[in-house]
A and B are shown apart, each in its own frame.
Chain A
């Protein structure tokens, strides 16, 4: 046996990494099958597999951290640092969308007749639903911070109330975004304008969905008393992610909605 003289937790053997890797590979291949043969059974099965593996893997992590207490402060620092790196990589994903948008809007191509927005695109008023969405997201950022405050103050009831509020606000945001997509007079295929707009806001929406799921799981864990006022790293990471989504939205609102008009 290896003598334990370092602070890091050595993981037990786990089937999830290899299974996840194989299923991700399969998902890529089955997406090609969707594109080429319109056959989506494979992809759905793989999505189901990936979701199941994710659930089981995260269940294991919760067991290791909360129930076995393996996540000490060194591990917590590592996890926090990984989350920072992950968020930075996500930022670069959005930077590419902004770059694409600015490139195409500051010097529109000749296919658009050097016009931006292109002819016959009726863009919606940024001061209506989008502004409301901005307010909703900012409020949810505020409530998630309040949740953190009450969690630090060991006040379970208020923590859960504000957590619920945050999730309700995020779902409200998603519903409004869906309403707006339904009302839009232009589509994904309406020139680079539609493509870049739906690409960026759609990816933002996807991130809101991911963030909401993250917050929901944290709410569940809060109600099951998984968190203490010194050890609640999952919630902290969810809050960081939520702030990140909020900031991205602010930039999206400024360029894609407000400046675009």
Chain B
């Protein structure tokens, strides 16, 4: 559902059937991981990457994203990018 009011687009991460539970931790992590993988293969400007970036930004706590970005910079991120 996308609403546009006064030039502000109201759009958020959609419901994802992979994560039907109350616990959405993995939705956050998976979209962050997908964004990193997409960025590595297609570059940041690619449309699909922007989608993942938006989803991870909507779902993940900012503190977690900051932490993971630091981990990636310091080359100690536990996931497979």
Contact = CB atoms under 8 A, between A and B. Distances in A.
In the complex they form, whether A and B have CB atoms below 8 Å apart is answered with yes
Interface of A: 110-115, 118-119
B34 to A, nearest CB: 12
A196 B55 CA distance: 34
Interface of B: 25-26, 28-30, 33, 77-80
A121 to B, nearest CB: 11
Contacts of A112: 78
Contacts of A119: 78, 80
- Chain A facing B: main interface SS: loop
A224 to B, nearest CB: 58
A119 B81 CA distance: 12
Given A113-B77, A114-B29, A115-B80, 10 more contacts: A110-B25, A110-B26, A111-B78, A113-B78, A114-B26, A114-B30, A114-B33, A115-B78, A115-B79, A119-B78
Contacts of A113: 33, 77-80
B80 A110 contact: no
A104 to B, nearest CB: 14
22 contacts: A110-B25, A110-B26, A110-B28, A110-B29, A111-B78, A112-B78, A113-B33, A113-B77, A113-B78, A113-B79, A113-B80, A114-B26, A114-B29, A114-B30, A114-B33, A114-B79, A115-B78, A115-B79, A115-B80, A118-B78, A119-B78, A119-B80
Nearest to B78: A113
B76 to A, nearest CB: 9
Contacts of B77: 113
Nearest to B81: A113
A110 B64 CA distance: 11
B71 to A, nearest CB: 10
A249 to B, nearest CB: 31
Contacts of A111: 78
A111 B78 CA distance: 7
Contacts of B29: 110, 114
A123 B29 CA distance: 26
A108 B30 CA distance: 12
Nearest to B79: A113
A118 B80 CA distance: 10
A115 to B, nearest CB: 7
